[in-house]
Chain A
Amino acid sequence: SAVISQKPSRDICQRGTSLTIQCQVDSQVTMMFWYRQQPGQSLTLIATANQGSEATYESGFVIDKFPISRPNLTFSTLTVSNMSPEDSSIYLCSVEEGQTYNEQFFGPGTRLTVL
């Protein structure tokens, strides 16, 4: 399976600032996904990022708040903009693999705390 790394692994940020999370994969993948997991909750898909096109955002998530870049087939970034304490979550990067691209693997996550 693909090896996925994320930076930073955790951060504590002040309200009103922005944080960019990086996701690096050790192989080329077509689709990358960004998820949010609020404390004690399940995973919620933020957006799907394909290389060479704009990310597709899920209902409730907007590009101004969560801009995403996908400059190549192994890398993506998610920015959490103008943060508030409600943005405190684990943010997870994910890719699909397998013959039918249905096995989904996750990075270690970025644990964000906003004060």
Chain B
Amino acid sequence: AQKVTQAQTEISVVEKEDVTLDCVYETRDTTYYLFWYKQPPSGELVFLIRRNSFDEQNEISGRYSWNFQKSTSSFNFTITASQVVDSAVYFCALKGTGGFKTIFGAGTRLFVKA
């Protein structure tokens, strides 16, 4: 069975702080894909990143960075120098190759205070 766990329900930080959102996953597939999505208060889901299971390189995009560790089944997301506009719910998701279904974690609500 596949599962995504985002243990942090809510995180509150002050602007300019760094924050890491945790994601732990379970799958029996040897090839799989991991995703992060952002859902701002307006409700739309914004695709942030996709990671293949065979590519463990960490990625940086501006203030965003992702740390993929296959050994611990984790795919954590760090926002550096957070801003108020980063306030949103962030979802980690997993898709195996055994089917078409993408499994979403429960989400982490991030509050960034000015």
* Chain A residues with a Cβ under 8 A of chain B: 1, 31, 41-43, 45, 48, 58, 90, 92, 96, 98, 102-109, 111
Q: A102-B33, A102-B95, A103-B50 are in contact. Are A42 and B43 (CB under 8 A)?
A: no
Residue numbers in A under 8 Å from B43 (CB-CB): 90, 108-109, 111
Task: Point out the residues of chain B lying under 8 angstroms from A105, CB to CB.
Answer: 47
How many residues on chain B are close to A (CB under 8 Å)?
A: 18
Give the distance in Å from the alpha carbon of A45 to the alpha carbon of B47 in the complex: 17
**Contact across chains for A104 and B102 when beta carbons are under 8 A apart:** yes
- 4 further contact pairs, Cβ within 8 A, besides A96-B100, A98-B50, A106-B44: A102-B50, A106-B47, A109-B44, A111-B43
Which single residue of chain A is at the shortest CB-CB distance from B46? A106
Contact of B105 among A42, A108, A109 (CB under 8 A): A42
Contact of B47 among A42, A48, A104, A107 (CB under 8 A): A104
Contacts of A92 in B (CB 8 A): 45
A96–B35 Cα gap in the complex (Å)? 13
Instruction: Find the B residue at minimum CB distance from A98.
Output: B50
Residues in B whose Cβ lies below 8 Å from that of A48: 100-101
Q: A42, A58, A90: which contacts B91 (Cβ < 8 A)?
A: A42
